[in-house]
Structures are given as structure tokens and as C-alpha cells.
Amino acid sequence: MKADLVVRNIGVLATVAGPVPRLGTALRDIGVVPDGALAAAGGRLVWVGPEQDLAAAVETGPQTRVLDACGRAVLPGFVDPHTHLAFAGDRDDEIRQRLAGASYKEIAAAGGGIVRTVTATREASRETLAMAVRARLDEMLLCGTTTAEVKSGYGLETVAELRSLEAIRDAAVRHPVTVVPTFLGAHEVPVEYRGRRERYVELLLEEMIPEVGRRGLATFADVFCEEGVFSVAESRRILSRARDHGMKLRMHADELACTGGAELAAELGARSADHLIFVSESGMKALAGAACVATVLPTAAFYLRLGRFAPARALVEADAPLALASDVNPGGGLSPSLPFAMAIACFSMGLALEEAIAAATLNAAFSLDLHEELGSLEPGKRADLVILRSARLLDLVRVGVGAVHTVVKDGRIVVEDGRRVEASPA
């Protein structure tokens, strides 16, 4: 087979190839090929295997670009299935309040949190938001993320939510990272509807969701199902309407209290239930039974100083599909780095490194319904890959050490020696 890109001299090739979603003990199987190589053509992988078989399997020519991995480790591009990149302004003073002892709920009750960002985002133009999304995608790309879900949710009115989704689309067109847009109009009840929340739910049901669906602006719809935000009953109505308008479903569930969000996600056939810090045993079983991905966000719990993390080990043992995400946002998701999320997941949540890698690649792709396209290094899939600075996969969880040397997206180099570069043709 012909190739326009070959990566050879790979010390450790972690393909993460195999069954999807990865469950239970199989989550540790990341398909390591020692002394490996791979080849791609037209942005797709055409061959993956031991380098000793490369010459017999792959035809190269003058136009073939050959990358020497110099014995380094190679693994799939990371997939981040939960981010909030479409926002304006910052919440730096609130972060300082949190460092001084204030809780997330206390800050929100005082008028901060999500609604604070809503004010700034409503004032921002579509162009300003698109530039902000692209800049944040750049940060993620430098950390090895090649696919990202991006939510709206800081508009909380029809015009502003549509503007946010349009800005996400604009940013995606001009950026190498594959972007999956999610409508999150049900992120919070805006201040002007606090005394008449049912009117806001009706606005979501009768105006926002139908218009988002009509314009085809979102692949998924999400809702923040939480005490003091949207109840299970309200969330069921909102997500059911979104499904009726062609959107797939995901949920913020059981982050600050056990509300039954995980059970609802399973009931509705949602692709993912996210956060899950207070998920119940019955919720874990429901997710496993429905093959609904349990997406945990270690970085958010860390920065919010919640004092506990999602029970990742118990979720794995319950055979729920587990994924990792960064939760990049202005208040509690301050790091764009999935390797940082992996470090917390390994050292504070009980995951093995291999489990964290599978959760940030193949299972994360499954949560976005992209597992047939990406998330592992297999022939036919997109040539999205990360080359580390050494052969040690453990470099991924050495916080403060830039583990990523090169990033290839759709067969093109987009990060080289840890620096963003314009897509370099194969």
C-alpha cells in the first residue's frame, strides 16, 4: 500500500486498538507494539505494526514524508469530550475567593459563577468569541488534544446561545482540532428568570432547541442536572426535546450532590454522563447497563477544591465505560492539559496509567460517537497521533514536564518540538 506519511523508529507504540468501549480490566490494554511504525495516506492510517514489517507492507516514494520518532513513544491524539471554550471575560477574583476558603456554592449564591461569565459573553461579538475559542484550542493542541467537544452555555438567551454556537463553528473551520459542538442552553437559569424558572424552561423547549436543531448548529445537547440548577424532571423534558430535534444527548450529572442524574442519563440513552462526583451505586450500575460513558473531570474537582473526586475506580469495576476530560472553563477548569487530568486520575482517583490513556483516547471518542473515526491507531482511522519526548509513557503524568514533542492531525504536523506550527503537508 502507498503512503504519504511514515513514522518509524517508534520505541513504544500504544495503539489502543481493539474493542470499544473499553470496559473493566480491558481498560488497561492499550495495544503496545514495541519498536513500531505506522503509515498514512490522505490523512488516514493505512498500516500499523512492527517496524521490521514496514518495508514489505508499505510503498514509499519521493513525496513520502518520513518522520523518525527517535525511539520515542507514540499514542493516539487525545480526545477531550467535555469543554466550555466559548466564553468571554474571566473569573480571576472568584478563584482568589476560593483560595481564601469560599465554596463554589457560596460564590454562585453571591452572584458569581456561571452567571458572571454570562454577562461578559453576551456582550462579546461572534468574531471575538471565535478568536477566543481558537486560542484555547491552540493551548489544548500543544498538550496533545486533537479532538474536542465544545459547549455553548454562557449565553442563556436565544440570540447569545446561537451566537456562541456559530462562533464555535467558525473557530472549528479554521483550526486543525476536530470540534464537536454541544448546545448547553440549560447550563443555568439566568438571573432575569430566577423568579420564573418555568418560563426559561419553556424558552428552551419552544424556541432555543428548535432553532438550534433547525440550523444544525449542535451535534449534542447537554443539561446541568444539579441541585439548585435543573431538576431531574426538567432535565428529562429538555433532553427529550433536544433528541426530538436531532441532537444526541450528554449530561452534567451528580457533580455537587447525588440527584439521580446518572440514572436519568442511562434512561434517556445519553452518550455520556459527566462529573459524577456523587454518583450512587445504582447510578454506576445504570451507566454500565446502558453503555453510557462515565466521563470524569479530575481537573475541575481539583480547582474547585471540592474535597473529593469521582469514584473512577468503582466505575471501572462496575463495568461502566470510563472517559477523562479537562472541563476547560473560566471558573474551575483552568488547565487545557489532558495529561494533567491523567496525572490526577492516576494519583488521586486510583487509575493505572494505561487506564487513563484509554479513557482519554478510545473511550473518550466513544463518548462523542467518533470511535470509528479516531481514538486509536488502526488502519482506516484518522492519522491523529502524539509523539512524546521520550519512550516513557509515564512522562505524561510528570506535571510540569512538557511531555508532548510532536502532534500529527489528519496526517499533518501541527505541533513540532512543543511549538504550534501551521499544518505541514505530508
pLDDT, position 103: 86
Q: Is the pTM of this model over 0.85?
A: yes
> Please, where are the H alpha helices in 349-391?
353-359, 362-367
Kindly state the average pLDDT of the residues 241-266: 98
Residue 412 banded pLDDT, cuts 50, 70, 90: very high
Residue 425 banded pLDDT, cuts 50, 70, 90: low
Nearest-angstrom CA–CA distance, 200 and 187: 12
Residue 406 banded pLDDT, cuts 50, 70, 90: very high
Least confident range from 86-95, 234-243, 269-278: namely 86-95
Nearest-angstrom CA–CA distance, 132 and 60: 40
Residue 2 cell numbers, joined: 502507498
What phi and psi, each to the nearest 5 degrees, are found at residue 256? -105, -15
CB of 6 closer than 8 Å to CB of 64: yes
Mean pLDDT score of the chain: 96
Smallest CA-to-CA distance from 321 within 342, 297, 296, 340 is with: 296
Residue 226: pLDDT above 50? yes
What share of the chain in percent tops pLDDT 70?
99
Residue 426: pLDDT above 80? no
Residue 383 cell numbers, joined: 492519522
